[in-house]
Amino acid sequence: MREANEIRTVEPLYSTATLCDLMGIDRSTLRGWVREGLLPAYRLGERTVRFRQQDVERFIASRRIRPEGAVAARGS
């Protein structure tokens, strides 16, 4: 049971439409990434799908293009 004074933070969730607008991509592209397992999605109802901000940030970081000859930083 939660303490009365416990603070709970809620991570932002993006809808399909919002995420597509933010990233400048088509819904079919986003669905493809989900289908390929590149970006996790969470079904909250029969037709409601959401994306966690943390997962989106991790996905974007994984797609980063490094200049030729650049050495990857540790942990990358």
- Residue type (1 letter), 15: S
pLDDT value of residue 10: 80
Q: What are the residue boundaries of the structural domains of the chain, listed by start?
A: 13-62
pLDDT of amino acid 32: 98
Q: Is 13-62 a domain of CATH 1.10.1660.10?
A: yes
pLDDT tens readout for residues 10-41: 889 999 999 999 999 999 999 999 999 999 99
CB 12 within 8 Å of CB 54: no
Please give the model's pTM, rounded to 2 decimal places. Answer: 0.73
What's the rounded Cα separation, in Å, for the pair 19 and 26?
A: 10
Helix (H) or strand (E) holding 43: strand 42-43
Question: Residue 76 pLDDT > 60, yes or no?
Answer: no
**pLDDT attached to residue 67:** 84
